[in-house]
Structure 1
């Protein structure tokens, strides 16, 4: 298993050195093809590599590892509601099987099968970082004037056309997103996310090997073995409702850092979401007992900025801030915005320092 992982991780460097044929496809047209690729069936290996050192609590270590480590995935994709993604490591495999009713997460080493139900709002998991899924999501709200072509390269043994997204919002901390697309299927083969001014991507996810054919249904389906321990994942909707009941009662503004507030299914009223596309900012009041732990995590970072507004820190293009006015509720701000944008947003929160 260890040798297989080493070989697969080394492949992109070798394959990328091969010449690729470009094609005269306009950026807007290429984006349109990407957005229609959700039902394209495929199977193969993908790897995601992140460099975001997120200052989070112990309860979110899985999310932090996802964006700071290298994750090797084996995927079988029949459609958005029927697929399987196995995370492969030197210690074994953990598989996520998606069906119309929810997900099964099978941890072979632990012998546990966990059933989860679909939720409109949930923490990121390895399937969310597949280049096909991530590429579609990042391009879904891009304006035509933010897009340009970026040549071609070889990815997973295929010629991939480059599509570059440069956010127009002044508050954005994302310098650019490069999506490398299979022109025949529209499937994103590689996604690179760069922070403003950075030479290396903060997140790079790509296919290493890809077969553009619908995989058999029996490979994706999952039935827990008789000896498995059956578990039930926490109800995300119920947890959100409970958190909203405990949140301080404040009225968040209609705009922060020059970004308009918007609504998403599953996002509680106590949380404000602002912006669009790859430039998003979330704001939420938090009880004092939670603010203390976050303050400790943020101030532990050597790059943390602390002033009368609170404490803020950047991990690549992701910014995180605890706004602590002393009187009234504390707030958490996070998103793909600059530290200056976080400070500007903090000044406009109810009860915050001016």
Structure 2
């Protein structure tokens, strides 16, 4: 009996050691030295921009340290950038993919097709359909390192790019590409993108605010398979028993259509206005690449909620222009003028840039 007991203990010890090794495997792979190549910064950027049709599946995690002001209408956006978001992704292309956000209480799936997006909430068995617009609030697919990395690199100029070595990400060699924005208004110190040398897919993206050594946003793949998923995995049709509802989110474009008065200027805070098809005169986006500034008309309720939240933010500035604050690299400002309509300035710009933009804004009219 004693001999058999000792044999069982040895066998279970071996099983325990194997389990421990499997659990530690991802961190061990990440600790392995990465192999760099001689690819230039321009060449690596070109590889990223050519990777949008690469099919893959995997598991990604985004960690945001931005404690954004929360409002009833923008809670989901605040959650994306202030919490840890775990995502399972199947990607056949920009117009055919699925991203499931996994939480302790369940899952929410985002299915993109050629005509729009289905959002499926598993626990409530509720489906919501949305169609693409000229300007949309961030959604989980926008936080994937592959999506975010490509967008942030898409408009970077050659003098803003440099190589920064290599590291292991998701068991693959990630080649480092750094963006240091040139715009004086930018609140971003740098963006580091770690790129798979074989496919050009960004494996990890880190965004650093000026004056901070810790990333304000870090999104990375923990597991990645480079193969096109089956079409039935990304496709979605609501079950007959599902509840259907229209998108009840804050419609930026609808609010902007109510604006009257002079057109928004061509330049704000030293940033040029972007030509975005379909935007009404009361809404505009300025800047390029990493440095962006949006002018958003705010209905009375939203303006009031944001105003109260900003007042409570550390370091908030309140003056005759309104109330403004910075949360990491993100600046937010509610502008109020006597007799005018409130509006919000927000983007990856400094609070000084927000104040300069507010001072140059024309009077906005329209229904509050």
Shift of 1:132: 0.4
Q: Does 1:223 align with 2:233?
A: no
Q: CA deviation at 1:306?
A: 1.1
SS in 2 for 1:262: coil
How far off its partner does 1:285 sit? 4.5
Q: Against the structure 1 CA distance between its residues 278 and 296, is the aligned structure 2 distance closer, same or farther, given a 3 Å change threshold? A: same
Task: Name the residue aligned to 1:17.
Answer: 31
Q: Find the aligned partners of 1:253 and 1:223 in 2 and give their Cα distance.
A: 44
Measured in 2, the distance between the counterparts of 1:53 and 1:270 equals 28
Separation in structure 2 between the aligned mates of residue 51 and residue 11 of structure 1, nearest angstrom: 27
Change (3 A) 1:50 1:15: farther
CA contact (8 A) 1:56 1:294 kept: yes
Corresponding residue for residue 168 of structure 1: 182
Partner of 1:349: 361
8 Å contact from structure 2 (residues 68, 327) kept in 1 = yes
Q: Could you say if the C-alpha distance between residues 291 and 92 of structure 1 is closer, same or farther in structure 2, counting changes exceeding 3 Å? A: closer
Aligned partner of residue 124 in structure 1, secondary structure: coil
Structural mapping, 1:156-305, within 5 Å:
156-234=170-248, 239-240=251-252, 242-286=254-298, 290-305=302-317
Q: In 1, distance between residues paired with 2:305 and 2:246?
A: 28
Are residues 184 and 18 of structure 1, via their aligned partners in 2, closer, same or farther at CA, if it must alter by over 3 Å?
same
- Alignment partner of 2:89 out of 43, 59, 75: 75
Tell me which residue corresponds to 2:146: 132
The TM-score with structure 1 as length reference comes to 0.91
Q: What do the CA deviations read for 1:184-242 (whole angstroms, capped 9, x no partner)?
A: 11000000111012111111000000000111111111222232222333598xx4553
What is the deviation of 1:127?
Answer: 0.8
**Does 1:324 find its partner at 2:331?**
no
Contact 1:82 1:98 in 2 (8 A): yes
Does the aligned pair in 2 maintain the 1:250–1:285 contact within 8 Å?
Answer: no
How many residues are matched? Answer: 344
Larger Rg: 2
Q: List runs of 5+ in structure 2 lacking aligned partners.
A: 1-21
* Cα 1:10/1:188, change in 2 over 3 Å: farther
Q: In the superposition, relative to structure 1, how do residues 9 and 130 fare at CA in structure 2: closer, same or farther (>3 Å)? A: farther
Is contact 1:270–1:285 with CA below 8 Å preserved after alignment?
yes
Structure 2 Cα separation of the partners of residues 314 and 186 of structure 1? 33
Task: Return 45-54 or 287-296, whichever deviates more.
Answer: 287-296
Aligned equivalent of 1:146: 160
Q: What are the Cα deviations for residues 293-328 of structure 1, in whole angstroms up to 9, with x where unaligned?
A: 332121011221112222110011000112223343
Deviation per residue, 1:247-288 (Å, 9 max, x gap): 342332221111112221343221122111111111245465
TM (normalized to structure 2)?
A: 0.87
1:114 CA displacement = 1.9
* CA shift in 2, pair 1:330/1:223, >3 Å: closer
Which of the residues 60, 73, 83 maps onto 2:74?
60
How much does 1:62 deviate?
0.6
